[in-house]
């Protein structure tokens, strides 16, 4: 695996407004440093314990993203430094993130995760559930958490039409939330969609942030 070369190939193919989150979950620090030394700064992890360890051990100018669904009792460990949490889908989690952000005297950016795939196992809100959440009093009271966009995962399939349609659904959810709840907001801008197998389609459908792991670092052995 030539990590630097893989990164270069992907970043050179991206429009300027699309950022790449290099998903380094399960990968050792040497691999991350290889990407870092090639100039990359945004990395994504999905386990709190691994993320805090890597944050301690690696250069401090890395921008760390949490790309899943943090357990509520573990948010406190990432709250001091996390740049963006991609997988938020409940008011309960938002309230805990808000509480930990206050303790750290900062604001934490998050994305609302939507369920766009056919697979039932994937996490995420429906548009109706998002309406309930965003109209609630509990949400309006959150002072230190900022919803900066949406995130979703397409079905794991080689049917590109299906994948494309699912990404279109996420883009249209983004547009309608923007109109309904965030029309005055300069920061509601992000659509996190696209992984190793489907990011070219995601970019065509309006992604602003792709999350790519195996295409940079090689297959993961769990």
Query: Which residues of this protein are in contact with ligand PLP, per CB under 6 A?
Result: 23, 25, 46, 67-68, 153, 195-197, 211-215
**Cβ of residue 25: shortest distance to ligand PLP, in angstroms?**
6
Of 11, 83, 98, nearest in space to 51 by CA: 83
- The rounded distance, in Å, linking the Cα atoms of 126 and 26 is 30
| Residue number with CB closer to ligand PLP (27 or 142) | 27
| Residue number with CB closer to ligand PLP (67 or 173) | 67
**Cβ of residue 136: shortest distance to ligand PLP, in angstroms?**
26
**Cβ of residue 161: shortest distance to ligand PLP, in angstroms?**
20
| Residue number with CB closer to ligand PLP (142 or 194) | 194
User: ∠ CA(185), CA(102), CA(68), 5° rounding?
Assistant: 70
| Residue number with CB closer to ligand PLP (70 or 213) | 213
Question: Where does residue 26 rank: exposed (0-12), middle (13-18), buried (19+ CB within 10 A)?
Answer: middle
Specify whether the CB–CB gap between 65 and 21 falls below 8 A. Answer: yes
What's the CA dihedral at 105, 109, 114, 120 to 10 degrees? -60
- Residue at shortest CB range from ligand PLP: 213
**Cβ of residue 141: shortest distance to ligand PLP, in angstroms?**
28
User: ∠ CA(11), CA(14), CA(17), 5° rounding?
Assistant: 110
* Residue burial 184-211, b: 16+ Cβ < 10 Å; e: rest: eeeebebbbbbbbbbbebbbebbbbbbb
**Cβ of residue 119: shortest distance to ligand PLP, in angstroms?**
13
| Residue number with CB closer to ligand PLP (83 or 196) | 196
């Amino acid at each position: 695996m030539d990590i630097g070369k893989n990164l270069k190939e992907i970043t050179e193919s991206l429009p300027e407004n699309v950022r790449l989150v290099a998903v380094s979950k399960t990968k050792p620090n040497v691999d991350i440093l290889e990407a870092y030394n090639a100039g990359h700064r945004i990395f994504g992890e999905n386990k709190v314990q691994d993320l805090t360890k890597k944050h301690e051990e690696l250069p401090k100018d890395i921008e760390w993203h949490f790309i899943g669904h943090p357990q509520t009792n573990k948010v406190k460990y990432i709250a001091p430094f996390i740049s963006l949490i991609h997988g938020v889908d409940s008011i309960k989690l938002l309230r805990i993130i808000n509480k930990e952000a206050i303790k750290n005297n900062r604001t934490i950016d998050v994305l609302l995760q939507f369920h766009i795939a056919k697979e039932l196992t994937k996490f995420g809100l429906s548009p109706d559930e998002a309406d309930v959440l965003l109209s609630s009093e509990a949400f309006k009271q959150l002072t230190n958490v900022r919803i900066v966009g949406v995130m979703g995962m397409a079905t794991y399939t080689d049917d590109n039409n299906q994948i494309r349609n699912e990404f279109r659904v996420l883009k249209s959810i983004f547009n309608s939330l923007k109109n309904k709840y965030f029309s005055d907001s300069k920061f509601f801008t992000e659509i996190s969609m696209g992984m190793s197998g489907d990011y070219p389609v995601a970019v065509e459908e309006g992604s602003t942030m792709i999350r790519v792991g195996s295409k940079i670092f090689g297959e993961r052995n769990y």
